[in-house]
Amino acid sequence: MSISMAAVAASMAVVTGGGLAVGTGQGTHAIAHEHFVAVADSDTYRAVTYDTAAVPAGSQVTVVSHPASDGGTRVALILEGVQPDRTFGAHVHRNRCGASPGDSGSHYQNVPDPVTPSTDPAYANPDNEIWLDLTTDGHGDGHAVAAVGWRFRAGEAASVVVHEHATDTHPGHAGTAGARLACVDVPLS
């Protein structure tokens, strides 16, 4: 499945040259297919790497999001050419990428945690957020798919961030995954 999604995303991105969002009345379909650029060399911060050892400049990222017929949402993340044989955390964040790793803001949550930062497993969990942790193969390729039972609120989900390690689930640390290594803008909502 990931191969066909990547092929579709790649062909559409050639046409659009960036993130593509299509509203259908059934929710928003969104696709981004980008090569990461070192933050110092980026002017748009559309797909930036803050750690070129883990996520080299020129490595590729593809994100596809689509509304499921059951009222939920599915999001797929594909990384190609990043550090081999490594587990990365990854999530949907609220803001667009920027020069600073923190610019992408906090995680998108279906039911927002009244406490910030959100590290309560009742809110920071893969049913209330989009978690896309993955482990790369020997070529540095990996993919993940998240399925949740809700749709993004308009204008509140804007990027996917790749993190240092797998996402923690313990109280007080839930949702954290270490440093932000890279970020890609995706017009998710």
Residues found near Cu ion in the complex (CB under 5 A): 91, 161
For residue 63, the minimal CB distance to Cu ion (Å) is 14
Cis peptide before 187 (omega within 30 of 0): no
For residue 138, the minimal CB distance to Cu ion (Å) is 26
The candidate with the shortest Cα–Cα distance to 183, out of 48, 61, 2, is: 48
Whole-angstrom Cα distance, residue 153 to residue 40? 32
Cα-only R_g, the chain: 15
The candidate with the shortest Cα–Cα distance to 179, out of 53, 33, 42, is: 53
Rank residues 46 and 180 by Cβ distance to Cu ion and give the closer one. 180
Rank residues 18 and 126 by Cβ distance to Cu ion and give the closer one. 126
Angle at 104 between CA 98 and CA 108, to 5 degrees: 160
The candidate with the shortest Cα–Cα distance to 51, out of 164, 174, 185, is: 164
Rank residues 46 and 91 by Cβ distance to Cu ion and give the closer one. 91
Phi, psi for 169 (deg, rounded to 5): -120, 0
Rank residues 12 and 121 by Cβ distance to Cu ion and give the closer one. 121
Q: Which residue is nearest to Cu ion (CB)?
A: 91
| Count of CB atoms situated within 10 Å of the CB of 188 | 27
For residue 160, the minimal CB distance to Cu ion (Å) is 8
For residue 49, the minimal CB distance to Cu ion (Å) is 15
Rank residues 91 and 94 by Cβ distance to Cu ion and give the closer one. 91
For residue 106, the minimal CB distance to Cu ion (Å) is 8
